Amino acid sequence: MKEYDFVIVGSGFGGSVSACRLAQKGYSVAILEKGRHYSKQDFPKTNWDIKKYLWAPIIRCFGIQSITVLKNLMVLHGVGVGGGSLVYANTLLRPLAKIFKSTAWPSSINWEEELEPYYSKAEKMLGVCQNPHLDEGEEVIEQLSIDLGCHETFERTNVGVFFNDKPGFEVEDPYFNGSGPKRTGCTVCGSCMIGCPVGAKNTLDLNYLFFAKKWGSEIFAETTVDKIEPTSSGYLVHTICTTSLFRKKKTTFKAKKVILSAGVMGTMDILFKNKIKHRTLNNLSNRLGETIRTNGESLLGVTSFDTHRQLSKGIAIGAQIKPDEHTKIEGVRYPSGSDFMKLLTIPLTGGANRFFRPFMLLAQMVRRFIPYMKAMFKKDWANSSIILLVMQSLETNMTFTYGRTFFKGFSFGLIGEMKDEKMKTYIPIAQESAKLVAKNINGEALNCSAEVVLGSITTAHVLGGAVLAIDSNSGLVDTNHEVFGHKGLYICDASVIPANLAVNPSLTISALAERFSDQFPIKENFQELVFTN
């Protein structure tokens, strides 16, 4: 059995950054990813191709978009080599300074100052730039800012996309002194969230993972971690083949150190399973699964009845506004023909009370039946629709536990329990914004069904569960990301973030991972690698 200095579980922003920097310092690294390898030719042309788009192994779908439904939470997250970067909306934003002043962050460190250089490193690696295109969807958001009296806050988003003056043409590496892969300029096709077919999106396989592999890291795709077993010299990581149908192929990896970077949903599942089922990580803090946060989100949409709309043209999220000090609104798009997400929509339904809101939906279904049906059967729904992602910086939280759950067919899995009544599925400014946009583009306003029917928070930005802390009474890992009670076991993904960021978290995860990997010295007798041809 080959022994690695580090086995990294997950290839998203935390795992890829860590793998790159550790390989750069001469360490042997194995990256375990439960999803598949994807190239730009492998992505679906629309999200109706659920075999390539949706992650649902039980029905033999091994795509890049996973939708996990818990008791009080519905999470959209990415799967595949490159993790969330394959399916996220390119948006790379720094949180406001006030976020780091929250008492949730360990007070021994000035986190704003501490992370500043690491944000800069991550921005350079991920090719962050300002969106140069303002298409029809961005115009809709700008008009909304005028209606809400906050036009001065309208701004283009900072994104990880390669733009040049020759869209669709391949050029030599523009980012890493020619030592990176060739790149193709963005064609603003809107396909960012179903997998970029052009190769313009700065996914992790084109930067951090590219160099991790170039510098010796080994990537094992279609490999799901089951058990982590401590040994006298490190850990044994027991895995099964994700995609095998009947007899599961099993493989064991030997590691001096293990880094869990499987995203909140993956990392929480592994930790709970090994604490409760396998009992191999018995010393985990009792704070496991606590302080789960989202970005205070609500997802709404508007479908226009006009025939001339071109709302699918552009990048996934091209502009944002801030109607008040706590709220940010982004306009989101899918490419033409990608109408799958309309199956998750219902008529816009108000009501702050979770119990009565489903009954209010019934009234809305009667009242808005004709326009709602018209929206659902609208030809090329994606091209005529805009999704409003509303995020708020208010502090809220829930707790994950582990047990038999209806949502997994009564087998064991994660359960999301609401612990804070401030965590609302109904946000008044979100409802108002959807109505204003519907009026402006002659359309029908829509709600996400999970928010109304199940009373569930819908998020693509789940955080926490294994948060940074000064001791095991406050969280699961110390400020160097090492798990309390398990030396050599680390967590480096969104699980460690202790506060609501109120922005898309990918850049912050990358900055934290840059800081985390910086603690390890260059391996003895090794010359640190640099970007060269």
**Residues with catalytic function:** 461
Distances (CA, A) of 400 to 102, 253, 275, 292, 479: 22, 28, 14, 7, 22
CB-based contact 84:507 (threshold 8 Å): no
- Among residues 281, 304, 332, 303, which one has the least CA distance to residue 90? 332
Element (H or E) spanning 32, and its range? strand 29-32
CB-based contact 260:274 (threshold 8 Å): no
CA angle, residues 497, 63, 465, in degrees to nearest 5 = 20
CB-based contact 8:204 (threshold 8 Å): no
CA distance 62 to 374: 32
Q: Transcribe 133-199 into DSSP letters.
A: ---HHHHHHHHHHHHTT-GGG-EEPEEEB---SSBT-EES-SSSTT-S--EEB---BS-GGG--SSS
Q: What letter would DSSP give residue 86?
A: G
- Residue owning tokens 């926490």: 464
Q: Which residues contact 457 (CB under 8 A, 6 or more apart)?
A: 72, 73, 74, 294, 297, 398, 423, 425, 451
Distances (CA, A) of 419 to 332, 422, 432, 474: 29, 9, 27, 17
Q: Which residues contact 10 (CB under 8 A, 6 or more apart)?
A: 31, 32, 33, 83, 260, 261, 262, 263, 266, 267, 493
Q: Transcribe 431-467 into DSSP letters.
A: HHHHHHHHHHTTEEEEEEHIIIII--EEES--B-SS-
Which structure tokens are listed for 62? 């091994």
Name the β-bridge partners of 52: none
CA distance 170 to 461: 32
Element (H or E) spanning 118, and its range? helix 111-125
**Strands annotated E in 378-515:** 385-392, 398-404, 412-418, 443-448, 457-459, 489-491
**Torsions phi, psi for 46 (to 5 deg):** -140, 165
